[in-house]
Amino acid sequence: MRLRWATTVCTLLLLASCGSSDSDTPSAGEPESSAPTSTPASSPESPEASPSADPVLMPDLIGMPQTLAGRALGRIEARHDLGLSSAWGRPVTVRCGTRPETVAFQHPDPGTPLRPGTTVRIRTAALDLARFRGPCEPVDGDLGPVTGPDATLARAFYRFAADPTLGAPFAPGAVWTGIEDGLAGTNLDEAARTDLSAWQLHTTYAERGGPFSALDVVAASGGYYELTRGVAGTCPAGEGEAPPELAGLRALSLTAPRDVTDSCMEWWGVTLFLDGEDHIRGIALRLGSP
């Protein structure tokens, strides 16, 4: 789902415009859209404003978070005024070992001289949850800032989201799952919690059609997320109210990493509500919208 969600995520980067492909390897005839990159105004005296006599080489973007890749291309355009554009195709399906939302394909290849008017074609990595959910165990996946026992609890929830048979520290009885402060929700008993379909909420939300699942969103992260205490405010409004039935409980929020998030449409948050024994009593999903 990724709520891109099995479709192309059109990253609103400094350079980016969005294209699509029907094959895993882009071809010369692949339909794509691109837009020339605007060039910041600079004075004639600025040394960076003058094109270099040396060839401008394509940087190595593979493995780079998508926002940083777009900014790297933007810096090249600002310095050399080549009229570069970019086309971002549909994601490349990956498994553990490749971080989602990082560059998995680029053309031209690294080190290629960039000619004026070049279109740089980029595809990022994504998990196909229908085929593979993980869990993955990236050594650099805990991006903080919260660490310690709370980070261990969040990691256990991520593993559960990828594979519900692994279990998680849920409170006895029914557990609430829903959207934001109760826009939609349901209660899941212990037997239902291992059924991925039981977590799906069939509604419309954040200018998208459902179903929505907090487990799918967390699983699609591949184990990369930021962890903070409290309820994450929804992008862009910043609203962070708890559902009435969970008000007063301690909260931990897993959110999309900032280095792969350049617009609210790419932002997500999943908040865990914990009782006094640090057992999960509820899970609230938040998605960004324009």
Q: Which residue has the tokens 């969970």?
A: 246
Q: Which amino acid is at 180?
A: E
Domain positions in the chain: 1-130, 142-287
Closest CA to 221 of 170, 166, 253, 268: 268
142-287 placed in CATH 1.20.1070: no
pLDDT the model gives residue 205: 96
Q: CB 192: neighbour CB atoms within 10 A? A: 15
Closest CA to 176 of 163, 165, 189, 164: 189
Render each residue's pLDDT in the chain as its tens digit; 290 residues. Answer: 443 433 333 333 333 333 333 334 443 333 333 333 333 433 334 444 444 468 999 999 999 999 999 999 999 999 999 999 999 999 999 999 999 999 999 999 999 999 999 999 999 999 999 999 999 999 999 999 999 999 999 999 999 999 999 999 999 999 999 999 999 999 999 999 999 999 999 999 999 999 999 999 999 999 999 999 999 999 998 889 999 999 999 999 999 999 999 999 999 999 999 999 999 999 999 999 98
- Apex 123 CA angle, 122 and 126, nearest 5: 155
